[in-house]
Amino acid sequence: MELADHPTIRVAACDLNGQMRGKRIPGAYALKLDAGAVRMPLSVLNVDIFGADIEGSPLVFDSGDADGVLYPTGRGPVPLPWLDAPQPLVPMAMHHEDGTPFEGDPRHALVGVLDRFGERGWQVIAATELEFTLVDDSGEALRHVRDPRSGRRLEAPGILSMAQMDAFDPFLTALYEACAAMGIPAQTATSEAGIGQFEVTLDHQDALRAADDTWLFKTLIKGLAHRHGFSASFMAKPFSNDAGNGMHLHFSVLDGDGRNVFDDGGAKGTDTLRAAVAGCLAALPASTLVFAPHANSYARLVPGSHAPISAAWAYENRTAALRIPGGPPAARRIEHRAAGGDINPYLSFATILGAAITGVEEGMEPPDPITGNAYEHDLPRMASDWEAAIDRFEGDPLLATFLPRELIANLVMTKRQELRLMRDIAPEAQWKTYLETV
């Protein structure tokens, strides 16, 4: 069926918290999307985690809450397999009336960073590993999910457990089928260290497409979980005494001849790889807000919790924030391990890759790679709390070289409003805010 033949379709852009903001429209609108037929207030990409306007935002109060124009991103329409009725989604990006990109749209920030690679004739290839936790949210307290076969609540982790994979086989099978239908290249799925926790790896591909697919994948997981009688959470720490959820970004860079600019034929990698590492390390402490954007995020950032807390890099060392995996030299890449599962994919990609290209352009040199346990080294730390992370992010000169000024200002306003509001919600009740929104 052609897109225009559907009774209704959906259009959505990504807000600063990674949520979809958009409309359900008649299928006939599909023929007019490229002409800017769909409009929304610019401020809708700058609402808080509760969906409310930001107090004092110039988008609302100085401009009369002006409309922007949505245009298709080029990702193309995708089915939404968790819905009962077919309603394809067309991913969109926000623009001003004159067609220029709206700087508060996080996808545009990533495009701007990738353009800097493109100016060198380079293409970024990226893949993500995403952890999520299946949960029971039917009561007043969040609880561990029940085994679909026995109905008994899970009580223990199942690290790489095939038995746990079998228990959730209908959900995982439907997940692979849905990914295929949506064009999302799902690869391995594993049972992880948390109770009811799984990780799915998305295959290496062009970085912009990888970010699009990561955004779509998070929505897919939540929708599909509901179809199977439970909920799915990307919260950084769904349960205080259990493993947290992370998102790891793997990336390499190809030159115009398709050669990996990180590959020196051996395990060490090129000077270009080390300069990219140096850029990422330099930006990491001030980038904490991007990788830990919510109140719950900071429960994950504690020593010894399998979540990096300092600006360390290493070869084949999972305690470091930046890991250089082994394997064939032609596949040499950087794995950035700092982000929680609750991130906005576009902001995370833009921050990591923006720091990397800045390191290359400025010829930065990293410190020596660490050996042993990164938690035992005295290194620059990520922000230890939400308020400090907001302050660092706002004033950092390095981040301002690759993230749009308007986006930085909007994110800071958003997070300060959320910080104030979340202080009135007990930590044990914050899951009600975050379960469906991150």
Q: In whole numbers, what is the pLDDT of the chain averaged over residues?
A: 95
Token match 């010829």: residue? 363
- Tell me, what's the pLDDT at 304? 75
pLDDT above 90: percentage of residues in the chain? 90
pLDDT in tens, 396-434: 999 999 999 999 999 999 999 999 999 999 999 999 999
Lowest mean pLDDT, pick from 70-74, 152-156, 252-256, 290-294:
152-156
Token match 């690759």: residue? 402
- Tell me, what's the pLDDT at 60? 81
User: Other CB atoms closer than 10 Å to residue 282's CB: what's the count?
Assistant: 20
pLDDT in tens, 250-286: 999 999 999 999 999 999 999 999 999 999 999 999 9
Q: How confident is the model at residue 324 (pLDDT cuts 50, 70, 90)?
A: very high
- Tell me, what's the pLDDT at 163? 81
Tell me which residue of 375, 336, 437 sits closest to 129, measured CA to CA.
Answer: 336
Q: Which domains does the chain have, with CATH numbers?
A: 3-102 (3.10.20.70), 114-434 (3.30.590.10)
Contacts 24+ apart (CB under 8 A), 136-142: 136/230, 136/231, 137/231, 137/431, 137/435, 141/428, 142/238, 142/239, 142/431, 142/435
Longest dimension (CA), the chain: 61
In angstroms, how far is CA 149 from the centroid of its own chain? 32
Helical (H) or strand (E) element with 323 = strand 322-324
pTM: 0.97
More confident residue, 165 or 134: 134
d(CA 324, CA 219): 30
Integer-rounded Cα Rg, in Å, for the chain is 21
Tell me which residue of 406, 171, 364, 390 sits closest to 278, measured CA to CA.
Answer: 364
Q: What is the residue-wise DSSP string for 276-291?
A: HHHHHHHHTGGGHHHH
d(CA 301, CA 383): 9
Q: How confident is the model at residue 162 (pLDDT cuts 50, 70, 90)?
A: confident
Helical (H) or strand (E) element with 391 = helix 386-395
Q: Is the pLDDT of residue 137 over 90?
A: yes
- Tell me, what's the pLDDT at 201? 98
pLDDT in tens, 297-310: 999 998 877 789 89
